[in-house]
Amino acid sequence: MARWVRVASEGELETNLSVAVDGKPVAIFRTEDGVFALDDVCSHEYSLLSEGEVFQGEVYCQKHGSRFSLKTGAVTGLPATQPVRAYAAKIEDGGVWIEWAS
């Protein structure tokens, strides 16, 4: 069953942030289009997406340039071929929340 989990305070999230939920790394992104959350590890080769650049609704992996949609986690640029998981995210009551299924 999914539940909303507070992962950070709003003040901690300027643009990109890495958090752990139940021991799993999750990348949080804040853009002019909203707040997004993805698995933090690139599906191509280990690299943290939270350390990548965000541009036009995509995050670019810093290691090999794979791109992923912030909204869906879908691959939008090679060399990655597998998507990363996307989570619903919101800012509410001064906190950053993601919908987490345990």
Long-range contacts, 61-66 (Cβ 8 Å, 24+): 66/42
Beta-strand (E) ranges in the chain? 2-9, 16-21, 24-31, 34-39, 53-55, 58-60, 67-69, 75-77, 86-87, 89-92, 95-101
CB-based contacts of 10: which residues, under 8 Å, 6+ apart?
A: 91, 94, 95, 96
- What is the CATH classification number for the domain harbouring 48? 2.102.10.10
DSSP secondary structure code for residue 31 in this structure: E
Predicted structure pTM score = 0.95
Please state, in angstroms and rounded to a whole number, the distance separating the CA atoms of residues 60 and 41. Answer: 12
Residue identified by tokens 């003040």 is 11
Per-residue model confidence as pLDDT tens digits over 24-80: 999 999 999 999 999 999 999 999 999 999 999 999 999 999 999 999 999 999 999
Per-residue model confidence as pLDDT tens digits over 74-97: 999 999 999 999 999 999 999 999
Q: Dump the DSSP string for 1-17.
A: -EEEEEEEEGGG-SSEE
Look at the chain and report how many structural domains it folds into. Answer: 1
**Full domain range(s) for residue 34:** 2-101
Can you give the pLDDT at residue 29? 98
